[in-house]
Amino acid sequence: MLPESLQTFEDAAGLDAATPGAIVDGQHTRGELALEIAPDQIIPALRYCKSQGRYERLSAITAVDWYPVEPRFEVVYLLHSLARNTRLRLTARVGGTAAEIDSATAVWAAANWYEREIFDLFGVRFRNHPDLRRIMLPDDWEGHPLRKDYPKTGSRV
């Protein structure tokens, strides 16, 4: 549900109207709108932002590991509207030992390598990704080194 403090923002109100129930939480800080999206609604939200919100540029996708909190991972989408010179941050929380979320490659082809990097370093899987494989580490590497529970020294078993 869209927080009352964000109902005056056109992007938040439009996204809430187009995808009811997609917005879980949000805030406006440092001149940037940040909205938490339900993970199962991330693709409709991204599609709305690209087509109706005129956020034509996907600046980046990254992740944060909030271990030991569940849902553990926060996938962060940074969007940029060149026409309006505005930025928007969408986040989605996914958890469990096999964290998954839908791939944004159907909306932005540029999401491909960002999602591969997140998969490689955090272990978050992106459903329907066209080529989800390691991008930075060797294929035989065990584990995902940016997870907070990844051993810093010693055996990786």
**Tens digit of pLDDT for each residue in 102-114?**
999 999 999 999 9
The CATH number that applies at residue 53 is: 3.30.460.80
List the domain range (segments joined by +) for residue 43: 4-127
pLDDT at 96 over 70: yes
Answer whether residue 75 is part of any domain: yes
- 69 in a domain, yes or no? yes
- pTM of the predicted protein model: 0.94
> How many independent structural domains does the chain possess?
1
pLDDT at 53 over 80: yes
Task: Note whether residue 154 is domain-resident.
Answer: no
Q: Does residue 20 lie within any of the structural domains?
A: yes
Per-residue HEC secondary structure of 27-85 comes to EEECCEEEEEECHHHHHHHHHHHHHCCCCCEEEEEEEEECCCCCCCEEEEEEEEECCCC
More confident residue, 66 or 151: 66
Residue with tokens 């159907």: 106
Query: Is there a domain that residue 114 lies in?
Result: yes
CB 93 within 8 A of CB 74: yes
pLDDT of 155 reads 57
